[in-house]
Structure 1
Amino acid sequence: MALLRAASFRLGPICHRTLSLFSNPSPSDWSKVVSDAEKIVGYPTSFMSLRCLLSDELSHVAMHVRRLAGTNHPLLNTARGFVQDSRNNLQMRGLVVLLMSKAAGPSVAATGLSQEDMVSGIYPSQRSLAEITELIHTAFLVHRGIVNLKDWSSSDGPLKDMQFGNKMAVLSGDFLLANACTGLAQLNNTKVVELMSGAIGDLVQGIYYESSGTAEESSMTEDVTVASWEEQTFLSHGALLAKSCQAALELANHNAELQSLAFIYGKHMSLAHKINSDLQPFVNGSASDLMAFSLNCAPVVFHRQLMGSERWTLELQQARTAGEHTDYAKLWKAIKADEGISSSVDLCRYHGNKALNAIECFPPSEARSALENIACAVTKF
């Protein structure tokens, strides 16, 4: 209870907006948020990733990916998501970078930059940065599709095809990352290169921690606190957007204070988005129609911290069937009945409010309103 009171104490007022990203089963509300924002920046950001994905080199890769049809290799589903829907939110990071660029506007201290070069209030270099951000995100999304062949079963598909899919995931992800690095060099800004290369390093570190903690055995013994979960989640999900927002303002020669606020918005918006995603199996799912959830997601981490390591280990052992598989429906009921869900909702709203507070000093504009709408959309339940 002390943990819950501490979490409640630090929360600001809850944002009350009608826009919602997840609570409505229809994607129409979120599509409207994205559509309205794209009109503001004057750029169809949903095509940013496609510009690279439809290049001659990667089109050649895509032809080979067809070989994975009929298998359960994650790379196939990732490729479908690029062109069929917005489930992976491919355009969102670039869109936020463009909105942040426009919300900040041109800097009075800008040297060597002409406002005549701006399109819809955004410099060409900032648009390039938005595309680079998407390339980096897409590259790591593809790399995450590598399958652990130790867990392979015949139902997943032929072993040789799964091995081939792993090779394609490595090569195509590396290709996207190389293009992103080339684009960074062309920006001719050493601080931006330093920021974005740091974001890539953070992603690698965060995914390493994430992967090393996915095994159920480590989930039983590892004492993950809410604070350590936030640190790891920032590395794997927040650092790229936070540093991209900061880099966008650096390209316009804004001062360090404004760059810091842009970083804070990107950081807390990403954390709120991740917590919202983690909560979906518990706020929109049921034991009979259970959505998959990770044993290292935010509600489970809160539940484990409230329960204590020994009780959590015992609870997880009791949920095991036949000594191997975990009864997630049983775990879901235990977590749902606890206060970990409400604590996660509070933490999501806390991060959403921190993001909103970060852009309060930006001049009122359509771009700032769009950033506010996005932050509020991921804190609506």
Structure 2
Amino acid sequence: MTLIGCRLSCIGLLNRGQRNIHMFSNTAPSNWNKVVSDAEKIVGYPTSFMSLRCLLSDELSNVAMHVRKLVGTKHPLLNTARGFIYDSRNNLQMRGLVVLLMSKAAGPSQNTASDLISQDMVCGIYPSQRNLAEITELIHTAFLVHRGVVNLKEWTNSDGPLKDMQFGNKMAVLSGDFLLANACTGLAQLKNTKVLGLISSAIGDLVQGIYHEMPNSLEENSLTEDINMVTWEERTFLSHGALLAKSCQAAMELAKHDKDAQRLAYEYGKHLSLGHKLNSDLQPFMKSGSADGETFSLDSAPVVLHRQIIGQKRWRHQLQQAKTIGRQMDYAKLRSTIKLEGGVTSTMDLCRFHSSKALESIQRFPSSKARSALENIASAVTNF
């Protein structure tokens, strides 16, 4: 059974609904699926992830069973579970897959340490690097689950019964903690203090990044905090880039590569993550038709760049113009206003920049199928 099949059987939710979370997806499914499928073949289909053992355990199977109680509510944990089913075919293992591809692309170092000689490489990847890839996925999944905690102060009757929302919060905290604890156990078993420090700092970065992403009211987000692109990139790196960048660097450390190789791997992970997030932020502005009713974050990259271009005074005026009589935001009107300026095109240019920086980093590694796969992934984030 693959990791995907395991997640399906453990979660056991048949209601697929619409996709509500975007873990590492792209807007051109056919192209993105092919890129991922080809990459998985190169690393030998990593089905031995620790996530597999965790998700087959009695504890998490019980969690999945309890999640069914949230059906009929708007608790985010239910949407996260649906996302595991709906998106898992090509998204759930993306971070681990990149770590494995990076490990294979770099290969063994010239000064192989004695403790590595005894390790049998599978598809050109050390067992410790595969363990690192599964740890990366566990951490990412744990934080996805933790993000499903609802602010009960904003609870309304339409969200679902209060007791169910409280129950969902408990499940999000406990199940996320369970996954994170298993990841930390696996991290300790790597017996590498530098890797331990890198991934521990990435967990700290995630916590800090999520703190900055905590939803405030529309007025607070759009008027009181004037976020510029420097701030946007700093916060996005913490919440979306640090884990992948530091995991790629850690994979080089496990193979005893020098600091230059570690730096290149780190840069690839960093720029790939930022490019992907920019692509994700662009999607509400690239779609047509049914997208008119779609909301979007007022702290997304196109909006932040739009605000920088027109200035805070004009931005406040545009927000007021986009509000309906009931003081609700008309996102279709606001989207049209934003698309008239240069925020969207500037975001596309910035996405291409990060894609090119990722390509520049990986092209310093020897030519191989693994390197080509990493190049294809970096190029795919510019498919708008």
Q: Within 1, Cα distance between the matches of 2:251 and 2:51?
A: 18
- Which residues of 2 match residues 225-264 of structure 1 at below 5 A? 225-264=228-267
How far has the Cα of 1:46 moved from its partner?
10
SS at match of 1:31: helix
| Structure 1 residue 359 corresponds to structure 2 residue 362 | yes
Greater Cα offset, 148-157 or 350-359: 148-157
In the alignment, which residue of structure 1 is the partner of 2:75? 73
SS at match of 1:28: helix
SS at match of 2:116: coil
Which residue identity lines up with residue 192 of structure 1 in the other structure? V
Identify which of 312, 328, 335 aligns with 1:332.
Answer: 335
In the alignment, which residue of structure 1 is the partner of 2:111? 109
| Structure 1 residue 350 corresponds to structure 2 residue 345 | no
How far has the Cα of 1:119 moved from its partner?
0.1
Task: Give yes or no for contact 1:139–1:174 (8 Å, CA) kept in 2.
Answer: yes
In the alignment, which residue of structure 2 is the partner of 1:176? 179
Q: Within 1, Cα distance between the matches of 2:311 and 2:66?
A: 48
Task: Give yes or no for contact 1:23–1:284 (8 Å, CA) kept in 2.
Answer: no
Q: Scaled by the length of structure 1, what TM-score is found? A: 0.90
In the alignment, which residue of structure 2 is the partner of 1:9? none
SS at match of 1:363: coil
Which residue identity lines up with residue 259 of structure 2 in the other structure? A
Greater Cα offset, 283-292 or 70-79: 283-292
Q: Within 1, Cα distance between the matches of 2:89 and 2:192?
A: 33
- Which residues of 2 match residues 1-381 of structure 1 at below 5 A? 22-24=26-28, 27-44=29-46, 49-86=51-88, 89-111=91-113, 112-114=115-117, 117-211=120-214, 215-286=218-289, 289-322=292-325, 324-381=327-384
SS at match of 2:309: helix
SS at match of 2:292: coil
Task: Give yes or no for contact 1:195–1:243 (8 Å, CA) kept in 2.
Answer: yes
Task: Give yes or no for contact 1:221–1:313 (8 Å, CA) kept in 2.
Answer: no
Greater Cα offset, 178-187 or 206-215: 206-215
Q: Within 2, Cα distance between the matches of 1:254 and 1:193?
A: 16
Q: Within 2, Cα distance between the matches of 1:340 and 1:151?
A: 31
What is the aligned-residue RMSD (CA, Å)?
1.9
Q: Within 2, Cα distance between the matches of 1:46 and 1:328?
A: 44
SS at match of 1:325: coil
Number of positions where the alignment pairs a residue of Structure 1 with one of Structure 2: 359
- Shift of the 223–179 alpha-carbon distance from structure 1 to 2, 3 Å rule, reads same
CA offsets 1:292-335 (integer angstroms, 9 cap, x no match): 31110000000011111111112112222245421111110101
In the alignment, which residue of structure 1 is the partner of 2:20? none
Greater Cα offset, 173-182 or 145-154: 145-154
Q: Scaled by the length of structure 2, what TM-score is found? A: 0.89
SS at match of 1:258: helix
In the alignment, which residue of structure 2 is the partner of 1:5? none
Sequence identity (%) = 72
The structure with higher relative contact order (CA 8 Å, sep 6+) is: 1
